[in-house]
């Protein structure tokens, strides 16, 4: 269901049986709010090996033109797999308490 359907449509207007007619609609659900730890990228250390991009279970690592540019915080749940998978010699990702990050803003 798209965002519009979620908010506005009465039950008669929705597709039956919970069928989703639009592919990729999960993108509309913001699930980043579940996160307790936020991944912080140090671009100076990152080698763009993209292991984090491969391993992220939520496709929340953003890569543009072959370059790792950061995280989709609307969907990242802070599992920290990216930080673990980032090679030890690189260690470009650190997990920081979400609360502290918010305070630092």
Residues that bind another protein (CB under 8 A): 1, 5-7, 9-12, 14, 16-21, 23, 25-26, 29
Which residues neighbour 82 within 8 Å (Cβ) at sequence distance 6 or greater?
39, 52, 55, 56, 61, 71, 93
Cβ distance to another protein smaller for residue 16 or 44 = 16
Cβ distance to another protein smaller for residue 21 or 105 = 21
Q: How far is the CB of 73 from another protein (least distance, A)?
A: 20
21-29: long-range pairs with CB below 8 Å, 24+: 25/1, 27/75, 28/1, 28/2, 28/3
Cβ distance to another protein smaller for residue 21 or 102 = 21
């Amino acid at each position: 269901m798209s965002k519009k359907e979620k908010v506005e449509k009465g039950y008669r207007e929705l597709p039956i049986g919970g069928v989703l007619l639009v592919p990729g609609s999960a993108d509309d659900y913001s699930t980043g709010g579940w996160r307790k730890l936020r991944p912080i990228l140090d671009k100076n250390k990152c080698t763009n090996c993209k292991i984090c991009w491969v391993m992220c279970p939520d496709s929340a690592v953003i890569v543009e033109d072959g370059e790792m540019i950061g995280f989709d915080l609307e969907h990242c749940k802070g599992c920290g797999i990216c930080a673990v998978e980032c090679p030890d010699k690189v260690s470009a990702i650190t997990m920081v308490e979400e609360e502290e990050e918010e305070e630092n803003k």
